[in-house]
Amino acid sequence: MKAAVLTAPERIETVDDWPEPVPGPGEVVVEMHGVGLCGTDLAVFHGRRVTPVLPWVIGHEGFGRVAATGSDTSDHLVGRRVVIEPNYACLKCADCLTGLTSACPHRAIVGLNSPGVLAERVAVPAPFVHPVPDGPSDADLACVEPYTVARAAVRRSGVTDRDRCLVVGAGAQGLLLCLILSRLGITPVVTEPHPERLARAVRLGAAADDGRTGFTYVFESSGYAPALRPAVDRAVPGATVVLVGLNAERLPLTTDDVVRRQLVLRGSMIYDHPGDFTAAMTELPAARPGAVIEARFPLARAQEAFAGAAVRAGKTWIDLGNGSEHA
């Protein structure tokens, strides 16, 4: 079986002798059609996130078709086109039982502490595959997982169509936030130094930053710590600041800043199972998350896809050549 495996930092090899998956109880085997690339994958590729072993199958934003099932698993999914929800919460701990599966301490994180999906076939727990409605393109399906991340951030924020929104960063998450906010009737203002990313955000319904102030919501998607404080300074008292991007630096804010201006700080980590993914799937194909795609590569060129992903204006995905169409 073919797979793209990380053999050293910044080195991916496409092999053809990777072991076939065997579905365990409650699992299905998915014939993979495509895998999107995101910042977490790039952190693994560049060695900033260390994998349990090498070689290591990389990637987590996958979709395909169910080929087989294990014991204790209904075969009604066989032949169905599905998207993988690549954070396998235990569904038993206190956080999971309160509905906050994104905080599950036992979560299997595909591509990080659990093998990735950039292979011809993978085994997946059946509750974490979602059947695809009619209509979405392969490019849309390659973006469902990050779309769900962005959608969950918007859901948790409480934003309404009367709010004035600033989006910091127009990487994949920033672009998807712009897309979702514009679908809500909001014209978000986006700040982004990369001119092509900025242009793409504008095409998705955002307005280029003109220095205005008075924002009731700030969505920080870049993970670039120096960008946060200037953005917060442009918000009104009582504004909500939603943190989506990750970095290890301390926040450039004091309690004095937050209390005197009565700011609400909200962190948003991935999504909660199953509601966020289920809701995102119902919005396909009308949401068209594939509009953030910039480039598509075959599996044999996975090294090239990863090496250049950070500098492309839009999102990159890898086509495993098993899909029914290409878009």
Report the CATH architecture of 147-267: 3-Layer(aba) Sandwich (3.40)
pLDDT of amino acid 326? 39
Q: Is 93 helix (H, G, I), strand (E, B) or coil?
A: coil
Cα angle 244, 247, 248 (rounded to 5 degrees) comes to 135
**Could you tell me where in the chain the CATH 3.40.50.720 domains are found?**
147-267
b/e per residue 32-59 (b: at least 16 CB within 10 A): bbbbbbbbbbbebbeeeeebeeebbbbb
- Look at the domain 3-145+271-319 and name its fold: Quinone Oxidoreductase; Chain A, domain 1 (3.90.180)
Q: What is the rounded CA–CA span in Å between residue 20 and residue 307?
A: 27
Per-residue pLDDT of the chain (327 residues; tens, 9 = 90+): 999 999 999 999 999 999 999 999 999 999 999 999 999 999 999 999 999 999 999 999 999 999 999 999 988 999 999 999 999 999 999 999 999 999 999 999 999 999 999 999 999 999 999 999 999 999 999 999 999 999 999 999 999 999 999 999 999 999 999 999 999 999 999 999 999 999 999 999 999 999 999 999 999 999 999 999 999 999 999 999 999 999 999 999 999 999 999 999 999 999 999 999 999 999 999 999 999 999 999 999 999 999 999 999 999 999 998 754 433
Cβ-based neighbour number of residue 122 at 10 Å: 26
**Could you tell me where in the chain the CATH 3.90.180.10 domains are found?**
3-145+271-319
Cβ-based neighbour number of residue 277 at 10 Å: 24
Q: Is 321 helix (H, G, I), strand (E, B) or coil?
A: coil
